[in-house]
A and B are shown apart, each in its own frame.
Chain A
Amino acid sequence: MRRVLRSGILLFVVAVFALSIPVQAKPVKVTAYQSVVHKGAKGDTVFEGGLKIEYDDIVITADRATVNMDAGIAKLGGKVALVQGDVTIGCDSMDLNIKKKIAAVTGSVRLQKRETQVEKDEAGKPKVSVITLTCTAMEIFTDTQDFNASGNVSMTRDKQRAQAAHASYKNSEKMLILTGSVFIEGENKESIKCDRAELHTDQTMVAAEGTKMEITFDIEE
């Protein structure tokens, strides 16, 4: 009985503590350069002629946007660009959900990421490579910087390049998983054709798998 009572009190204390934690508010700043139209009844605010959205460590620019401030969602169009730390994304349109921390981008998507490499240069300092990934559509999770890309995915890093139907990136593991008609070409023109490949973005390491794999490389004579 005492144990039940103790557990009950503990649960009550935890519940009270959880309720007493203040609700976190995320400040969002939108700067319009030409025009803003807000329709009160609908709740949408339409920006034309250039705008900038700033929140957390993210800066998004676009030619036009429809923003619902209550819901924390925005539909951006024109020349859209998202900058978050070392990551820059350019695209034609973006569906942004600030609360859910998701940005879905489409149309001429181009992601660039500066990645510190495990390999060191002659001075003993870590090398920095710029990874460029292009695709038709991409979903970005802004809290983790993970993303899923689809549609003619193409990636380059230094002299390495890769192609696939889909790509999924986990920032914590620095790993890009390529699936569907994967083709990877290395610095020395060696290449791999496979169904799935794991490509580390901070080191030149590739793990390929598939029912039918094709590896091509030159042998020095």
Chain B
Amino acid sequence: MSAKLVKAVSISVAVLLACALIYAFVINRPDPPDADPASERGRGTKQPASRDLLFDGVAVEGREGGERVWMLSAARVETGAGDGRAEMYKITEGAIYRSGEPYLTFSAGRGLYDSKTGQLRLDGGVKVTSGGKDLLATDEVVWDPKQSKVLIPGKTEISTSAGVVTVSQLEVDIEADKMYTAGDVLVSEAEGKGSFLMEGDDIHFSSDGESFEARGKTTIQFELDDSEE
């Protein structure tokens, strides 16, 4: 075998190897591994990314007007891109505050905080509890401290002691302690009781989801067991 051929083959192999390495580690770089809380904790305390966002290990706190409005524990926090946003993953313990006290607690797959708007957007299987009891489960929640409102744009299931209320959209007014909805509302009552479907433009529930008030034209449809006479 000629020396020239060996050299050409060696160079080709080296180039191919280099290309493979560039593809593997630069172009197709794998996502950071799902954070392990234990290992993440070892990274230590980060410095505050903005005036209103404080980091303490993996606990993140949002402030509005100097007052705590939300707080959460996440497995991983990403920030520092210069856009005033922070992404938090695997949120295990979160709380929305009212007058400095926890009002609602939550868990979510991901949280996105935008310091420009002050909004905290949660998604990825959001579960909200109130007073230690499950309150609602949904795909996406937006907490707007400036308006003191939690907005849920998609289908939501509200758990109450009387049953489950399914709504197509929901707005929780933290200050008024009420939940507002519109469109179709399905109330499935527990304990073998029936269910009813409600439709209206202005329906608001109490914070426990058990009582409601509706204004304007509202229709309620239910079925009665005709054999019970």
Residues on A facing B (Cβ under 8 Å): 23-41, 45, 55, 69-70, 72, 98-101
- Please tell me if the beta carbons of A39 and B221 are within 8 angstroms of each other in the complex: no
Complex formed: what's the CA distance from A27 to B221 in Å? 7
Interface residues of B in 180-229 (CB under 8 A from A): 189, 193-194, 196, 200, 206, 208-229
- Please tell me if the beta carbons of A99 and B226 are within 8 angstroms of each other in the complex: yes
Residue from B162, B193, B220 with most neighbouring chain A CB atoms (10 Å):
B220
Count, A-B residue pairs, CB within 8 A: 86
Q: Interface majority SS on B: helix, strand, loop or mixed? A: strand
Given contacts A24-B227, A25-B226, contact A69 B217 (CB under 8 A): no
Partner among A33, A45, A70, A100 whose Cβ is within 8 Å of the Cβ of B220: A45
Closest residue of chain B to A52, judged by CB?
B219
Per the CB 8 Å criterion, the residue count for chain B at the interface is 31
- Please tell me if the beta carbons of B227 and A28 are within 8 angstroms of each other in the complex: no
Residues on B facing A (Cβ under 8 Å): 160-162, 189, 193-194, 196, 200, 206, 208-229
Complex formed: what's the CA distance from A37 to B202 in Å? 12
Complex formed: what's the CA distance from A35 to B194 in Å? 22
Chain B residues whose CB sits within 8 angstroms of the CB of A28 once the complex forms: 221-224
Complex formed: what's the CA distance from A123 to B215 in Å? 54
Chain A residues whose CB sits within 8 angstroms of the CB of B160 once the complex forms: 40
- Please tell me if the beta carbons of B162 and A36 are within 8 angstroms of each other in the complex: no
Instruction: List 19 other contacts, CB 8 Å, given A24-B225, A55-B224, A99-B226.
Output: A23-B227, A24-B226, A25-B223, A25-B224, A27-B222, A28-B222, A29-B219, A31-B219, A32-B218, A35-B213, A35-B215, A36-B214, A38-B212, A39-B211, A40-B211, A40-B212, A41-B210, A69-B194, A70-B194
- Please tell me if the beta carbons of A40 and B210 are within 8 angstroms of each other in the complex: yes
Chain B residues whose CB sits within 8 angstroms of the CB of A36 once the complex forms: 200, 212-214, 218, 220
Partner among A24, A38, A69 whose Cβ is within 8 Å of the Cβ of B211: A38
What is the minimal beta-carbon distance from B91 to any residue of chain A, in angstroms?
A: 30
- Please tell me if the beta carbons of A32 and B217 are within 8 angstroms of each other in the complex: yes
Closest residue of chain B to A56, judged by CB?
B226
What is the minimal beta-carbon distance from B202 to any residue of chain A, in angstroms?
A: 10
- Please tell me if the beta carbons of B224 and A26 are within 8 angstroms of each other in the complex: yes
Chain B residues whose CB sits within 8 angstroms of the CB of A34 once the complex forms: 215-216
What is the minimal beta-carbon distance from B68 to any residue of chain A, in angstroms?
A: 32
